[in-house]
Chains A and B, each alone.
Chain A
Amino acid sequence: MQIDEFLRPKILVISGKGGVGKTTVAAALALVAARNGRKVCIAEVDRKGTLPKLFGGGELSYEPREVSPGVWGMNIIPDLALAEYLDVQYHMKRISRVFTSSQFVDYITTAAPGLKDILVLGKIWYLEQNRQDTKGEKNFDTIIVDAPAAGHMLTFLSAPMGLSDALRVGPVRRQSDWLVQMLRDPDRSRVHLVTLAEEMPIAETLETSQALHDKVGIDTGPVFANAILHKLLTPKEKETLEKVMEDEDPSELKDAASEVGLRIDGDDLNALVGYEKFLEARRAIQAKHLRELRRGLTEPVVELPFLFSAGLELPDVETLADVAEKEIDTL
């Protein structure tokens, strides 16, 4: 898959179970898009996410702000989307303040749960249509939606279909149809799921991917399997290690060490072999889950590496972006 094909839809929705590194992957993909000349906006949906931590700077607001060259960040808050909607639709700036300053939105969105989602999707549509800014300063080529966790994402994306079913006529019906069209057009929107190679996230990813096809009808692209441990030893090296360690006193390794002026004792050797075994055991669990994932999916899987560094800093995101870009290109 060429990067251009990957970036063809303007809207990329990134989702996955909580704790799988969804935001980090969204940020890495934003860097990939920016490197390929796109003006990108990452939109968090109604939450204080870790995005500002990745790029530095304070919290994101409803107004997009450039967080890194070519990458903008914003937080779509439903209350503010409602205020904007009322202002644009009904020119009611003053009254809209009454709505948003109270718990009103809570009530109405509780009474009509899809409404919050529709307001958020409406804002995304607004961004997609470049209606944001008449000067064109904030006309984005790519909009990356750091979507709610997978369970809620299905409800989130199906909300306009529900509304379109419920309403027969009127402006809201028309607008909700626009959202349905936006989501169901593979040239405009695509979902990427993020997962870990562990029991629960894999099960949820398989379920979600199926439901996205069956219930939402939105296009899905490569699934990102995050935090995959690298393979350390070749089968031949593994064999060598086993042979060397059979020795009561594995002098071959010690000799190789002392040749470069390194002294390692028995405890060191145990630690070296111990961590190799640990890595292998974890890798075996991951491999089992990755097989299960590949078997159950129609989409390709992109493996992103486990990072031994502290994580959650820009250099880590850059590393992931490097890998993602290369892997996407070879799909």
Chain B
Amino acid sequence: MSAIGDIVARKEIIVCAGAGGVGKTTTAAAIALRAAVDGKRTAVLTIDPAKRLASSLGLKELSNEPTKVSTRKFTSAGIEPRGELYAMMLDTKSTFDDVVTKYAPTREQADKIIANRFYRNISGTLSGTQEYMAMEKLYELYADGNYDLIVIDTPPTRNALDFLDAPKRMTDFFESRVLRWFLLPYMKAGGGFMRVANVAARTFLSIVKRIVGAEVLDDTAEFFGNLEGMYEGFKQRARDVAALLRSDATTFVVVTSPAEDSVEEARFFAGRLNQEGLHFGALVVNRVHPRLSEGIDVKPRQISKLEAGSDVGRLLAKLLDNHEAFMRIVTREERNLDALARKIPRHRWVRVPYLEQEAVDFSGLLAVSDQLFPA
């Protein structure tokens, strides 16, 4: 059984992680698709899928509940699924709203927070929000207990590690020192910052007001004021999510390309998983150039002779040149992957070669599935 087949059989949550642009979303969708074909009631939570990929799963817009991928998609591809596939695209904003509603002591307080301008900004732009909400949604789907398997894609960060640190960054943000120093006195003084005793804080606030306007400060103060008493709920949930990620139910699939920087990232990420006590399930190496030969020993002199010769000679020179160029890529990729093998044993790998078609439609996804689950 392939490394992926093995974890699909044993785990309830699969998190696909890796640097941006290496094919995480496609991998997540392809794993879920196959699990559904093999009989599992599967949900795939995608973060930012390509439009055609999304529509190939029947997704038209962001939604906060998984929708069933129609059985007809499978049957028209000649497959009779034994399970069911549900897909969703994360709606960060409305997930955040749900979280606020859940932890606010009263409906009124929740509404106040949701209407606040500072909140509206952070729920869209604060770094880490998307990651935090993805984890929140994952927890919710798992707790509902409706699925045998949940496969989740992670947000497209420059750095794969960002996503592990995101929940902590969020809670830190809400609790930081700066808040206490500058904003709390302001809030306590009922918005009249001239009454703030601390001289540094007063100067500071007056400049801020000059630059960004009093409204921004009022909004911020109001937001944090309304948030009082909710921190514990947030933090408890963050702890619960962390526990779920560490539990035996969950495993991580690290996705990479054979390119140097992406491999480097995967190495770090695997190390971090280990440090954090998270389960490493499998490594997917995407877009590997095929090795078609052990190399042809040809001298530049021979190439020049061929080029000066017959039509067939010139043709051969071009083919040799092209072959040599690809061998250089293959050699480089193998060197990068050898370095990775020192960190992650090869029996935990699945290689997906460069495919002739892009995996942007249902049949493309099936082709990737076949590579991930070799017979």
Contacts and interface: CB of A to CB of B under 8 A. Distances in A.
Interface residue SS majority, chain B: helix
Interface residues of A, number: 63
Nearest to B364: A199
Interface stretch (B27-35, B70-78, B302-310): B302-310
Interface stretch (B5-13, B172-180, B239-247, B366-374): B172-180
Given A110-B125, A111-B118, A199-B358, A18 B204 contact: no
Interface stretch (A27-35, A274-282, A296-304): A274-282
B360 interface: yes
A210 to B, nearest CB: 15
How big is chain B's contact interface, by range? Answer: 35 or more
Contacts of A256: 306, 309-310, 312-313, 316
A52 interface: no
Contacts, number: 155
A310 B21 CA distance: 19
Contacts of B314: 237
A113 B216 contact: no
Best-surrounded residue of B51, B220, B319 (most CB of chain A within 10 A) = B319
B12 to A, nearest CB: 30
B312 A273 contact: no
A113 B120 CA distance: 11
Nearest to B324: A308
B176 A103 contact: yes
A249 B7 CA distance: 46
B292 A19 contact: no
Interface residue SS majority, chain A: helix
Contacts of B320: 272
A63 interface: no
23 contacts: A18-B158, A102-B178, A103-B173, A104-B182, A106-B173, A107-B179, A110-B121, A110-B122, A240-B312, A253-B312, A253-B316, A256-B313, A260-B306, A267-B293, A270-B292, A271-B323, A272-B322, A275-B323, A278-B289, A278-B326, A278-B354, A308-B329, A312-B260
Best-surrounded residue of A104, A112, A310 (most CB of chain B within 10 A) = A112
A98 B322 CA distance: 59
B105 to A, nearest CB: 24
